Amino acid sequence: MRVAALTKYDREAASTRQRILQYAPSLADHEIELRHYPLLDDAYVRSLATGGKWSRTALIASYLRRLTSLLKGVECDLIWVHLELFPYLPAGFEKLVFRSGIPVVYDCDDALFLRYNNSPSRALRALLSGKIEQLMSRAAAVTCGNAFLRDYAAAFCPNASVFPTVLDTEVYTPAERDTDGAAVIGWIGSPSTWENVQPLLPVLEQLCGDRSVTFRAIGAGYKAGADHFPGMELAPWAEATEVAEVQGFDIGIMPLIDNPWQRGKSGYKLIQYMACGIPAVGSPVGANSSILAEDCGILARNAEEWHDALTRLLDDADLRRRTGEAARKRAVEHYSLAVHAPRLSELFLSIAR
């Protein structure tokens, strides 16, 4: 069986790696060949991290290549679309994927429908409102990053199910930590998600000033430069060092602004921390509330609760150890590739049958 994965971004985008590409070996074990066709390459992804400009000519060429590919026909038994095929173009372009009669599965790990339906631009709403819903209604299935997205998708596609953003818990593992130096509060993400950290910066700055604490932010890029304070470290993201960076944290954080878009987030940062046996603190928004269950982390609603949660963990090494062990166990049992890859294979095979 051949599955064509049509993604928005190439490999350097975390969503492409974790939602799509990491499943390739497991799918192959079930005689499912995954072929990857990104719209935008890694150079474009890197430009998002640096704030660099991207050639409009190159962007148009990318859209034309995908359009030509769909008109020509994709040779496969199932098409797996991550997010959408043509961002900011009307649904008519997307519907070309259904011309061949090949079943289509949509993967959704963001509340993409809000970008169009709730856009402040009246013209954009008129042109694109309802676009994502039209595509879901034609799909053979929709795989969703959390229950919030699944509940929305199920109104248009009965075969909608939750597939959390998981990781390989044989790669993300606990590591020995240096307990002599400053404790490290860590965050990993991208410039586009840095806005969630900014309201928490006064608390982090206070902790770094009052005690031997370092706040280390991975992947925030140019967005975090203006927010720098003593005790704060900025490091670039790289696939080769991602696991080691997370393993170096003593506490992992995932603050979220409480709005509809953030409720669509799949909580992947928390799962990264948990798989490495690191206690996590997160906002009780979206999937975070269900992920940080069973004593594997702390939910914090406001600055006072964030300060209290971080202080408790910083002051109690045994609490960090116990919480980290519970977090690791939950990650292996509920958010591992080993658990969810067979589910995905069965979904694809059932649709093909």
pLDDT of residue 180: 67
Query: Residues of the chain whose pLDDT is less than 70?
Result: 179-180
**pLDDT for the residue 195:** 94
CA-to-CA dists, residue 141 to 68, 217, 345, angstroms? 25, 36, 13
- Domain ranges for the chain, please list them: 2-165+337-352, 183-334
- Quote the CATH superfamily of domain 183-334: Glycogen Phosphorylase B; (3.40.50.2000)
What does the alpha-carbon distance between residue 40 and residue 61 come to, in Å, rounded to a whole number? 10
Which string of DSSP letters, residue by residue, matches 183-244?
EEEEEE--GGGGGGTGGGHHHHHHHHHHSSEEEEEES-THHHHTT--TTEEEE---TTTHHH
- Matching fold, domains 2-165+337-352 and 183-334: yes
The CATH fold of domain 2-165+337-352: Rossmann fold (3.40.50)
User: pLDDT tens digit string along 223-253?
Assistant: 888 898 999 999 999 989 999 999 999 999 9
CB 115 within 8 Å of CB 122: no
Residue 225, pLDDT score: 81
What pLDDT is stored for residue 179 in this prediction? Answer: 66
Burial class for 56, CB neighbours closer than 10 Å (0-12, 13-18, 19+): exposed
User: What's the whole-model pTM score?
Assistant: 0.91
